[in-house]
Chain A
């Protein structure tokens, strides 16, 4: 059964069906039409992702575009378009197209360009649009020798051969420019490979580190300590720069210390650390300023300061207090019955203290900076405690990024630069000369060709022709 099917599908010339199919697919990918079509398609569909904001929470698309369009956007992955399967597939299609085209065209190009046969049929010269012919005195060999030295002086590579009526010279320059486009295509391959390596083997993370605090870097054997954070300002009050001094700690030892700022990351063992944001800690403070309120007299005592975790006697009373908690934006989770900070902003700061009578823990009240007296801190007493101030701890927000593909991408970029210089600014000039003996002197035909910039070549060709003619030769009027 299987045999009869494959037999039935095998094509002409005894090729089996999968070969024929493979050849068809291959042929499909060799098409430059496909390249142009895919390039224009990528260009046009990319617009969608710049109009629809990328990477927002899923619900916001339904809110912004309505449930109908919102679900269209989400099902087509327009919300994260550039990482969607279909967009990636188009890019892979483009890459396959470029690869196949290059494989298909490079070897024949290499062959014809590098193995140029110097033996030619002189009538070829007559078919070139840039050509000239003249008669020079001196023998065929002498003229050829003179021409060779002129071409060499002008940095042309020369080959000599024979034609049916004399000697031929093939001179060329800038052949490497022909391979510029191949180098550019190769460079795209590097860039794409680097991007793929980065997306599979890299990681990105963000960590706020408190001043004086430490941080264990994920997927790495070292940690960081933030020694200092500060902001520089211009005289006008605008921010000049955000700076952090960080120390790398590895195996309990300080390895290196570096000041980083925006545009100046720290690089250590493949991971880069960037200054990305800053703020103040939302879950702790350096110290709190607390004021005792005497409810019976409705008066306030002098405020006192209490450090983080510090136990202190409340002046003028028998009680003592320990600062144990802080949130910058107070919120309470009903289910777990815990207090947390709703955000990193200082919207509703609150400090928690433990109130002791001697050694006995009485209460653990929260003191609200914005809402003093909302709950009496020490119930059933003549006192209340008011949070009248606090000193925050700044943090520095570090973005960290490990991307082992980056260097591959840069290699690709450098290759691309080289490729562009070759492709756009190195012209391949080719000149064919045929020298044939005559009754007196020799008759010379020269013709030239360039792959780009024909306007500039005309001039150069004229110069070379003049140099070859030299003094004493005359125009061939034929």
Chain B
């Protein structure tokens, strides 16, 4: 494999890691010292961090010769990337920067976790037989243009949708933590300079719900696309392998959350605890299953 290219993606990742550090630091700094310029800097750093992460994905794709969604390290990069986009979109729309102190810290922790992965989870490998799943219709569409090597398939679609969902759940987790903090002070009518900087607890609650309302259908699409693909690759759409089962567990937890919220008016604390439990299930689904439980998804 081309050495120069590997160095390129490593370089971008190092750059991204540095900027995620600066981003998290300045969002937290903005929250603590409340300087407008620090908030501006934080957002600027976040955009640069996002750009570097995009370059990591692009250069990895170049190194491996396929979309960079095929191992744990690449999926972490995708997760961080999606989380950053989601956060920046939310910041732009609702103009609330203190959320960044939590969400971008989660993103930075994810960067550290990704960089600490052992080498065998990081190297850019050619795809094994089961992972080659290009869509025929796309290949035949792109072939006349000479672009068939850029065709994507079930692997890419499945991983992408799943990780958009994971990112949404991570964001909702951050928002729920903020909610619990804020709510604790509000209910006791205590004053605290830091806590008072956070958005109102009702807003945090609503935003947490809205991010889950994004993650839930995306997880469903991720599960279904995995089933469609499994039907092609393994001969059955559902085999109760630990990854599949845990994805269903997670989905059921969030389904319970949505039903509790929409029809029984579960808001606030109980909803926040359920959202935190949901994210813990996501973490186990993502890392726990990959490292602890053997199964068909073991290569991730």
Using a CB–CB cutoff of 8 Å, the interface residues on chain A facing chain B are 32-33, 35-36, 39-40, 42-44, 46-47, 49-51, 53-54, 82, 181, 195, 204, 234, 236, 238-242, 261-265, 272, 274, 276, 399-401, 403, 406, 409-410, 413, 416-417, 420-421, 424, 452-455
- Bound complex: CA A117 to CA B203 (Å): 33
Given A40-B252, A49-B245, A424-B213 in contact, is the A406-B231 Cβ separation under 8 Å?
yes
Q: Is the Cβ of B234 less than 8 Å from the Cβ of A82? A: no
Q: Is the Cβ of B232 less than 8 Å from the Cβ of A43? A: no
- Between A35, A36, A238, the greatest number of chain B beta carbons within 10 A of the residue's beta carbon is seen for A36
- Please count the residue pairs between chain A and chain B whose beta carbons lie under 8 angstroms apart in the complex: 118
- Bound complex: CA A231 to CA B12 (Å): 36
Q: Is the Cβ of A40 less than 8 Å from the Cβ of B237? A: no
B58 within 8 A of A: no
Q: Please list the 9 inter-chain residue pairs (A to B) with the smallest Cβ-Cβ separation, ordered nearest first.
A: A420-B217, A262-B129, A39-B256, A43-B252, A50-B242, A274-B235, A82-B240, A401-B235, A43-B249
Least Cβ–Cβ distance between B2 and chain A, in angstroms: 12
In-complex Cβ contact of A263 among B206, B233, B240, B245 (8 A): B233
In-complex Cβ contact of A399 among B220, B235, B242, B248 (8 A): B235
For residue A454, which residues in chain B have a CB less than 8 angstroms away from its CB? 206
Q: Is the Cβ of A43 less than 8 Å from the Cβ of B253? A: yes
In-complex Cβ contact of B128 among A54, A238, A261, A401 (8 A): A238
Q: Is the Cβ of A39 less than 8 Å from the Cβ of B252? A: yes
Q: Is the Cβ of A40 less than 8 Å from the Cβ of B253? A: yes
- Bound complex: CA A452 to CA B209 (Å): 11
Q: Is the Cβ of A39 less than 8 Å from the Cβ of B259? A: yes
Q: Is the Cβ of B210 less than 8 Å from the Cβ of A453? A: yes
- Bound complex: CA A398 to CA B175 (Å): 49
Interface string of B146-163 (1 = CB under 8 A from A): 000000001000000000
In-complex Cβ contact of B245 among A46, A399, A409 (8 A): A46
Q: Is the Cβ of B259 less than 8 Å from the Cβ of A261? A: no
- Bound complex: CA A32 to CA B272 (Å): 19
Q: Is the Cβ of A42 less than 8 Å from the Cβ of B252? A: yes
For residue B214, which residues in chain A have a CB less than 8 angstroms away from its CB? 424
Residue of B nearest to A410 (CB): B228
- Bound complex: CA A56 to CA B209 (Å): 41
Q: Is the Cβ of B130 less than 8 Å from the Cβ of A263? A: yes
Least Cβ–Cβ distance between B261 and chain A, in angstroms: 10
Q: Is the Cβ of A54 less than 8 Å from the Cβ of B240? A: yes
Residue of B nearest to A33 (CB): B264
Q: Is the Cβ of B129 less than 8 Å from the Cβ of A261? A: yes
Least Cβ–Cβ distance between B289 and chain A, in angstroms: 7
In-complex Cβ contact of A32 among B220, B240, B242, B263 (8 A): B263
For residue B293, which residues in chain A have a CB less than 8 angstroms away from its CB? 50-51
- Bound complex: CA A416 to CA B224 (Å): 10
**Assuming A49-B240, A49-B245, A50-B289, what are 8 further A-B pairs, CB within 8 angstroms?**
A36-B256, A36-B264, A39-B253, A39-B259, A239-B128, A262-B129, A262-B233, A409-B227
In-complex Cβ contact of A264 among B221, B232, B281 (8 A): B232
For residue A409, which residues in chain B have a CB less than 8 angstroms away from its CB? 227, 237
Q: Is the Cβ of B235 less than 8 Å from the Cβ of A276? A: yes
Least Cβ–Cβ distance between B283 and chain A, in angstroms: 14
- Bound complex: CA A35 to CA B245 (Å): 19
B40 within 8 A of A: no
Q: Is the Cβ of B256 less than 8 Å from the Cβ of A43? A: yes
Q: Is the Cβ of A234 less than 8 Å from the Cβ of B252? A: no
- Bound complex: CA A242 to CA B242 (Å): 26
For residue B238, which residues in chain A have a CB less than 8 angstroms away from its CB? 195
B196 within 8 A of A: no
